[in-house]
Amino acid sequence: MDYAVIMAGGTGKRLWPLSRQKRPKQVLKLLEGQTLLRKCFERLEGLFDFRNILVLTNADYADVVRENLFELPKENVIAEPAVRDTAGAIGLAATILRKYDNRATMAVVTADQILEPTDAFEEAMRTALGFVHENPEALVTFGIQPTFPSTQLGYIQFGQAVGGKTAQNKVHAISAFKEKPDQQTARYYLDAGQYRWNSGMFVWRCETILRQLADFLPESVEPLRNIQADWGSANQQQTLQEWFPKLPKTSIDYAVMEKAEQVYGISLDCRWLDMGSFAALADIVASDANNNSIAAEHSELLDCRNDIVVTEASDHLIAMIGVNNMIVAHSKDATLVCPIEQGERIKEILEHIQKHKNGKFL
């Protein structure tokens, strides 16, 4: 049977003060009252029975995730007791699914991305699922057609087409995974035409990915075996608490995808945004006549240009006069004001808040 696993563990520090330790970016209601997590779930509804959708998230976020996805059975939201990166999270999900379905195929998606149109995503996902059904040893990833020479994203090099029933969704052998490049290399990748942005989405058989983890990350075998043995029993939570933190902290790309042999890719030619910053948010929300990106129910801007204005509060007015090229982000107990070009320094100010305010506003 086919299952979907939503990875929803990221904190989104670059969206502070909206995103917090107890309230991550994927549950912020910034997209016309909807959350990134909700939009991700809705993209999957046409492909998977909702009972076959799992969400992996940080233990601190489990309740708010369940509240946002109220349709899901409570047990479908799996709370990770520690941060172990994508290899551990994927291993955990595959282990759980494999216990109950030894022929399970899992699609891994992330909760903090915008993909439009949905039809393009659905067609690519169906192609990937079909390819894995026919080739059970295959590991399939999705590459995003790049639109500019990004130095903030990893790249995948596509090789020869080996499958796929339509020109838009050919399945290609993957030649290489590339780390975040410098500007010159990124320009080369864009011009070459055979490179795609690494989306962090995958499709594979649970049995296959667990075998690959055993081969390339043998330290994961004992923790996952013990977790699987007690999953569904009275000892489930205790065993998860004990063994999950013992998994190696590493990404699935580094642990498996860069080393495995049968790795394939499908190109997604669609609007794709990784919602990791206020600048990315500005690419999603509509701009006014002065290029101000406003995600706020109430705002009044006078002689303001190129600003990003954000609040979830429906009863709060943000008023600005003569402000240009600034981020203004309001929450109930903290407000951020900074030049857009210094948005990358948000993590730096969070360190100061941790030091001087004992983490109160984090």
In a shared domain, residues 109 and 133: yes
In a shared domain, residues 288 and 240: no
Residue 176, strand partner residues: 157
User: What does the DSSP assignment read for 113-151?
Assistant: EEEE-HHHHHHHHHHHHHHHHH-TT-EEEEEE--SS--S
State residue 359's pLDDT score. 73
**pLDDT above 70 for 227:** yes
- pLDDT tens digit string along 41-65? 999 988 999 999 999 998 888 998 9
In a shared domain, residues 330 and 254: no
- pLDDT tens digit string along 166-224? 656 799 999 989 888 888 999 999 999 899 999 999 999 999 999 999 999 999 999 99
User: What does the DSSP assignment read for 213-269?
Assistant: HHHH-GGGHHHHHHHHHHTTSTTHHHHHHHHGGGS----HIIIIITT-SSEEEEEE-
The segment with the largest mean pLDDT, out of 27-36, 146-155, 229-238, is: 229-238
In a shared domain, residues 162 and 258: yes
In a shared domain, residues 294 and 344: yes
Domain holding 292, by residue range, is: 278-357
Residue 324: pLDDT band by 50, 70, 90 thresholds?
Answer: very high
In a domain, 296, yes or no: yes
- pLDDT tens digit string along 124-166? 999 999 999 999 999 999 999 888 888 888 899 999 888 766 6
In a domain, 186, yes or no: yes
Q: How many domains does the chain have?
A: 2
In a domain, 362, yes or no: no
